[in-house]
């Protein structure tokens, strides 16, 4: 609806980001967009009229000419009043981020950062007082991902927040100034650390008002007299409350999944276990309502990412399967984010190997504890979770009675080939993928050995594949190849292709409903009572 007169939106798979606004011009916002200039691209800032959707170029970034030699802009730092105070320009060989500040239109470099793999500048904006640029710092040296401030006046790095056990997930920003308010991390539940005592007192009050729930500030007026908070738990879908801090009135203004009731939902509990090499795997087990936890049909539900994590919050997909009578195991296998750099690093180059073993070890413990019926276990996942589902079916075929993959990876060399073609061998994206998965030049034998599509003849259980035509994160070719290989091997396989503009993230309600309906039928047929 915005950027209506831009010719470049087709080049941008995600073009709905607000970089900044200016309260003196309430009808305009600032949005970034990759734009084409003389057969090359640059990351530009556009001033967009929200009443008409029309835009005009505000600032042009340094263009990507020859990626290995030239700097090109990859990020902008805004001041909360519609002005760019800094930007990050990147060189790809070697990968370095250069922080530059705007000195009356002259962009002067003040710092540089190694940008290989998950390192880099990671700028998120300004501190509330405007004296520091806030950035994420990976836990490679300090153990967990932290929040630091780059002091503009002195160039010093100031520690702002770090939890010794858990990685910082993200920041909460002031809606009006786009400046940093708080750091958020996840233990089992969300933990919020505001940078000022007054705001931290507000957070403590909210948590006392909604004990045992995840409570996150969602929106506020300029004076913070009225705020909207999002409240949730494993048994409460996201619910929104308006709080008037002057009158102390709090009223519910909206709820996702309003037709659900606590009795419809399963009970979620932490269920950590030891992997075969002794590493503790954080996990969550959801038990179906009204059933004794003995000899149950089980869905193993590894998350995507793989640098993501499950937590004690409402999970619509897991609760759907639990409501249909299945226990659901959600393992945070090694390589998951949130638990510190060492835990994340333990998953490097371990797709189909130790990361998969962690999932297998959780299943075996469920069986040993008598919770799971060993003949009625299905593995279900999306994205990396889809890969794990296919890998489980191919590499531990006696363990699973069925497997479901939505938008899953099946051929690791092809995944890397496509990524390299779409970026460049020296890009930030390829540096990250090579550090996590491996490289075709160095690891081809291992990559082939852990690609389920290349071992489809080892699959013996029914498989359900689903994928969206417009998926630009994992191309649908990955599921097409898996389907063709499984059919050739005589495996019972179904492939459902979501046509149109459905992407990787199941953002359309009709697609979610169709996907869940197909899973319900598939599970009932293969592991149902």
pLDDT tens profile 117-138: 999 999 999 999 999 999 999 9
Distance CA 27, CA 36 (A): 26
**Residue pair 469/478 in contact by the 8 Å Cβ criterion:** no
- For 81-119, b/e burial (b = at least 16 CB within 10 A) is ebebbbbbbbbbeebbbbbbbbeeeebeeebebebebbb
3-state secondary structure of 450: coil
3-state helix, strand, coil in the chain (%, to 5): 25, 35, 40
* Beta strands 20-21 and 28-37, pairing class: antiparallel
| pLDDT tens-digit series, residues 124-183 | 999 999 999 999 999 999 999 999 999 999 999 999 999 999 999 999 999 999 999 999
Task: Kindly state which CATH superfamily the domain 262-411+455-527 is placed in.
Answer: Alpha/Beta hydrolase fold, catalytic domain (3.40.50.1820)
**Residue pair 183/147 in contact by the 8 Å Cβ criterion:** yes
Domain boundaries, the chain: 196-259, 262-411+455-527, 413-450
Question: Residue 180 burial (CB < 10 Å; 0-12/13-18/19+)?
Answer: buried
**Residue pair 67/427 in contact by the 8 Å Cβ criterion:** yes
Q: What is the DSSP letter of 63?
A: P
Q: What's the chain's length in residues?
A: 529
Q: Provide the pLDDT for residue 69.
A: 55
Q: What is the DSSP letter of 457?
A: G
Distance CA 87, CA 350 (A): 35
Q: Provide the pLDDT for residue 9.
A: 78
Beta bridge partners of 231: 215, 239
| pLDDT tens-digit series, residues 377-409 | 999 999 999 999 999 999 999 999 999 999 999
Query: Which parts of the chain sit beneath pLDDT 50?
Result: 67-68
**Residue pair 344/269 in contact by the 8 Å Cβ criterion:** no
Distance CA 24, CA 18 (A): 17
* pTM confidence score: 0.95
Q: Provide the pLDDT for residue 93.
A: 85
């Amino acid at each position: 609806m915005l950027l209506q007169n831009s010719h470049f939106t087709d080049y941008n798979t995600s073009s709905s980001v607000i970089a900044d606004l200016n309260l003196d011009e309430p009808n305009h916002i600032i949005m970034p967009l990759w734009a084409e200039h003389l057969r090359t691209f640059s990351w530009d800032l556009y001033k967009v009229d929200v009443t008409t959707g029309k835009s005009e170029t505000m600032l042009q970034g340094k263009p990507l000419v020859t990626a290995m030699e030239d700097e090109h802009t990859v990020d902008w730092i805004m001041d909360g009043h519609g002005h760019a105070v800094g930007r990050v320009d990147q060189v790809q060989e070697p990968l370095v981020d250069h922080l530059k500040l705007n000195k009356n239109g002259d962009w002067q470099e003040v710092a540089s950062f190694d940008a290989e793999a998950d390192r880099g500048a990671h700028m998120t904006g300004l501190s509330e007082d405007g004296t520091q640029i806030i950035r994420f710092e990976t836990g490679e040296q300090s153990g967990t991902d932290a929040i630091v401030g780059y002091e503009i006046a002195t160039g010093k790095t100031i520690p702002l927040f770090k939890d010794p056990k858990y990685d910082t997930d993200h920041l909460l920003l002031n809606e009006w100034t786009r400046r940093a308010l708080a750091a958020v991390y996840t233990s089992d539940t969300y933990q919020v650390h505001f940078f000022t005592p007054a705001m931290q007192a507000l957070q403590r009050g909210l948590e006392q008002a909604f004990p045992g729930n995840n409570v996150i500030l969602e929106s506020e007026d300029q004076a913070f007299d009225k705020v909207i908070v999002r409240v949730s738990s494993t048994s409460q879908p996201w619910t929104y409350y308006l709080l008037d801090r002057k009158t102390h009135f709090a009223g519910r203004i909206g709820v996702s999944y309003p037709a659900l009731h606590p009795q419809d939902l399963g009970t979620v509990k932490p269920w950590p276990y030891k992997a075969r090499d002794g590493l503790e795997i954080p996990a969550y087990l959801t038990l179906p309502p009204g059933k004794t936890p003995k000899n149950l049909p089980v869905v193993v539900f590894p998350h995507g990412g793989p640098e993501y994590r499950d937590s004690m919050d409402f999970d619509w997909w897991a609760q759907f399967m639990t409501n249909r009578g299945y226990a659901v195991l959600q393992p945070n296998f090694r390589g998951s984010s949130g638990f510190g750099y060492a835990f994340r690093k333990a998953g490097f180059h371990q797709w189909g190997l130790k990361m998969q073993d962690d999932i297998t070890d959780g299943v075996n413990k469920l069986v040993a504890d008598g919770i799971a019926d060993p003949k009625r276990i299905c593995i279900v996942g999306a994205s990396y979770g889809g890969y794990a589902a296919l890998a489980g079916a191919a590499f531990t075929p006696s363990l699973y009675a069925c497997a479901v993959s939505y938008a899953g990876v099946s051929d690791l060399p092809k995944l890397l080939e496509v990524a390299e073609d779409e970026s460049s061998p020296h890009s930030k994206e390829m540096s990250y993928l090579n550090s996590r998965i491996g490289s075709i030049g160095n690891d081809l034998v291992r990559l082939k050995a852990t690609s389920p599509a290349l071992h489809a003849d080892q699959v013996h259980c029914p498989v359900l594949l689903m994928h969206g035509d417009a998926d630009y994160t994992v191309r649908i070719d990955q599921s097409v190849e898996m389907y063709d290989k499984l059919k050739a091997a005589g495996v019972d396989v179904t492939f459902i292709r979501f046509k149109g503009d459905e992407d990787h993230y199941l953002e359309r309600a009709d697609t979610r409903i169709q996907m869940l309906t197909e899973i319900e039928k598939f599970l009932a047929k293969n592991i149902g009572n």
